[in-house]
Amino acid sequence: MAGRLAIVAGSGGLPLRLHEAHPDAYCVTLAGTPHELPEGVVHTHRPERLGELFEDLRDHDVTDVVMAGAMARPKLEPSALDAVTAKVAPALMAAMQQGDDGLLRHVIALFEDRGFTVVGAHELVVGLTVPAGMLCGIAPDSAATLDVEFGLDILSALSPLDLGQATVVAGGLCLGIETLQGTDALLEQAAGTPTHKRPEAPGVLVKLPKRGQDLRVDMPAIGPATIEGARRAGLGGIVIAADRVLVLEREATLAAAREAGLFVQALDV
């Protein structure tokens, strides 16, 4: 890294993890996005004033930027726009209509066009992703393996549409496909399946990056909340892509999975 790192903090525990691993990094966030960093540490910018954000980063000798955690899609107040934001806002708002990938590619370009290098959280903290293998529990049996394969087929069919980062499959039937609302909402939907419609097989959550998803800013993740959601949905286990899905709070996550009797498997897919 040539100069200083900046952490652009979104929601969840990842920004804190990065801050701990890189205590000298300069931390910023956008107003309206909840974050878990200590208040004294983080500098909040308004999404309408990106010019000030870029200037602030330059003033602090930032050369590299990591975006971590989910950012809220900002509602921009037109009267508050600074010159930089006014210039990029129309394209940014058009990108917001294109799903996560389109928007994030656009946001990466905003930083890169100004000379910043955008790096992924998994490049900055060792052990955020996992290699192929069983992380806990017993490998899925042949019925569960069929469910995993069906899940992979579903995600593969939707991937060209920038959709379907996760799905829940049980006994050959799909109990949910992740959309805008995210994985926790997907698991809640699966948990709410009426008993008379519910297959007897416990089912699996399958979670992967979409094809072409830029892992620097939008790597899929599982964490303790995923385990809790899977447990409430009565699932048998969770399958993620090896090396391409973050396992947040790994010890707590795997301890919770063991406690819940869930297997967690990373697959080379």
- Asked whether position 225 contacts a copy of itself by CB under 8 A, the answer is no
Q: Which of 79, 126, 127, 196 binds a copy of itself (CB under 8 A)?
A: 196
Compute the distance between CA of residue 101 and CA of residue 89 in angstroms, rounded to an integer.
17
Cα distances from 268 to residues 208, 242, 243, in angstroms, run 10, 5, 8
Of 226, 178, 176, 182, the residue nearest 197 (C-alpha)? 176
Cα distances from 69 to residues 115, 201, 218, 255, in angstroms, run 22, 33, 8, 22
How do 4-9 and 26-30 pair as beta strands? parallel
Shortest Cβ 71–a copy of itself spacing (Å): 10
In the shown chain, the binding pattern of residues 150 to 189 toward a copy of itself, with x for contact by CB under 8 A and - for none, equals x--xx--xx-xx-x-------xxxxxxx-xxx---x---x
* 89 class by beta-carbon count within 10 Å (0-12 exposed, 13-18 middle, 19+ buried): middle
Of 157, 154, 163, 158, the residue nearest 98 (C-alpha)? 163
| For a copy of itself, the closer CB: 153 or 214 | 153
**DSSP secondary structure string, 50-108?**
HHHHHHHHHHTTEEEEEEESBPP-PPP-GGG--HHHHHHHHHHHHHHTTHHHHHHHHHH
- Asked whether position 193 contacts a copy of itself by CB under 8 A, the answer is yes
| For a copy of itself, the closer CB: 96 or 267 | 96
Shortest Cβ 84–a copy of itself spacing (Å): 23
* 127 class by beta-carbon count within 10 Å (0-12 exposed, 13-18 middle, 19+ buried): exposed
H-run or E-run covering 254: helix 250-260
- Asked whether position 73 contacts a copy of itself by CB under 8 A, the answer is yes
- Asked whether position 99 contacts a copy of itself by CB under 8 A, the answer is yes
- Asked whether position 41 contacts a copy of itself by CB under 8 A, the answer is no
| For a copy of itself, the closer CB: 80 or 181 | 181
- Asked whether position 141 contacts a copy of itself by CB under 8 A, the answer is no
Shortest Cβ 28–a copy of itself spacing (Å): 19
Q: List, in order, residues 6 or more apart from 179 with CB less than 8 Å away.
A: 163, 186
- Asked whether position 199 contacts a copy of itself by CB under 8 A, the answer is yes
Shortest Cβ 240–a copy of itself spacing (Å): 20
| For a copy of itself, the closer CB: 73 or 87 | 73
- Asked whether position 2 contacts a copy of itself by CB under 8 A, the answer is no
| For a copy of itself, the closer CB: 117 or 179 | 179
- Asked whether position 79 contacts a copy of itself by CB under 8 A, the answer is no
Residues near a copy of itself, by CB under 8 A: 32, 72-73, 96-99, 150, 153-154, 157-158, 160-161, 163, 171-177, 179-181, 185, 189, 192-194, 196-197, 199
